[in-house]
Amino acid sequence: MGYGALDAINTPIFGDDGLLNKIAAIARLIGKSSHRRSLPVHHSKSLPPLIVIGASTGGPQALTTILSQFPQDFPAAVIVVQHIDAQFVQGFAAWLNEQIPLPVQLAIAASTPQPAKVLIAGTNLHLVMRPDLTLGYDKEPLLSYRPSVDVFFNSVAKNWTGKGVGTLLTGMGGDGAQGLKQLREAGWHTIAQDLKTCVVYGMPKVAVELKAAVEVLPVEAIAPACIKFLS
């Protein structure tokens, strides 16, 4: 990821066409993504502000750009759902931990969002927020993407009563768009990454079409917008 890989997938057994499908999809995007990009409600007093982020293809570099702008004493908690095979997520978290000031950990069952800490979905199950505001993992629903940004965003919109910002970043398909809309309808401030700075303008595009995003911003402007809203 640090050297610019667009995605990672486990080597499949013979007969599994998932790798071929992913290669074909990325190949269609190479003409756009091969160039080098410049990287730079109800409010509850008992809960920290929460930033939730969904990303897919191109997400690691976008996340680095955003999270590197948050200071070590950042008052908000951050939770990330990045489409990546479970066998790579530990290495991804370790790599991200070296790029940004905030500590990065994999989200484990029964953990809770904490200020100045980044939690990342760590399995091929859906990360969800429970009614008691702890995190957990569910097998259902059976969707193409596991973990699903939509499933996580929907659970947060249903259960989190504090102030929050939802952000949907670069990626193929439309996962996260409906969830971002649910967050907006629940009173959250919502942001979609813009066309110019996306490696793949898929997920944010669907969110914009659904009017799920309050703001559509270049990746380098997303962190300042979060800080401004939460201040």
The catalytic residue positions are 56, 83, 175
Question: Residue 6 has which token pair?
Answer: 């667009």
Backbone angles phi, psi at 107, to 5 degrees: -70, 130
With vertex at residue 118, the alpha carbon angle to CA 165 and CA 130, rounded to the nearest 5 degrees, is: 70
Closest C-alpha among 40, 19, 65, 18 to residue 170: 65
**Ramachandran quadrant class, 211 (left: phi over 0; alpha: psi -120 to 50; beta: rest):** left
Task: Report whether 226 contacts 82 (CB < 8 A).
Answer: no
Q: Which stretches of 35-176 are DSSP H helices?
A: 59-67, 86-99, 149-159
- Secondary structure letter of residue 3 according to DSSP: T
Residue positions counted in the chain: 231
